[in-house]
Amino acid sequence: MGIFTVISIVSGFASATAWLYASHVKVSRESAIRQRRLAAEKSETTPDLSGVTFDGWEVRETLAAQSKWNSIGAVLASTAVLCQAVAQTLD
């Protein structure tokens, strides 16, 4: 088994894990407020404490977290496919 095949397998599993996590990640209202206050302190501005919650979860921050993990999953999936293509070419 070549190095590209191993990288492809590892990247594929990591991609699946990232996408599964993205489907379940949620950000609570309290956590979102804490993040906003820390960001406001860092930039020395007034925190924006507005928001939309659904079922106790902050919508904007939850979507941002899901987007981040979906992006990581996509990069890992593309790495897996690229390594598969290289491994097939080298065989």
Residues 28-59: tens digit of each pLDDT: 999 999 999 999 999 999 988 888 989 889 99
Of the pLDDT bands very low, low, confident and very high (cuts 50, 70, 90), residue 80 is very high
Sign of the Cα torsion 70, 24, 34, 51 reads positive
Ordered by start, the domain boundaries in the chain are: 3-90
Of the pLDDT bands very low, low, confident and very high (cuts 50, 70, 90), residue 91 is confident
Instruction: Say how many Å lie between the first and final Cα of the chain, rounded.
Output: 11
Of the pLDDT bands very low, low, confident and very high (cuts 50, 70, 90), residue 69 is very high
Backbone Cα Rg of the chain: 19
Give pTM, 2 decimals: 0.83
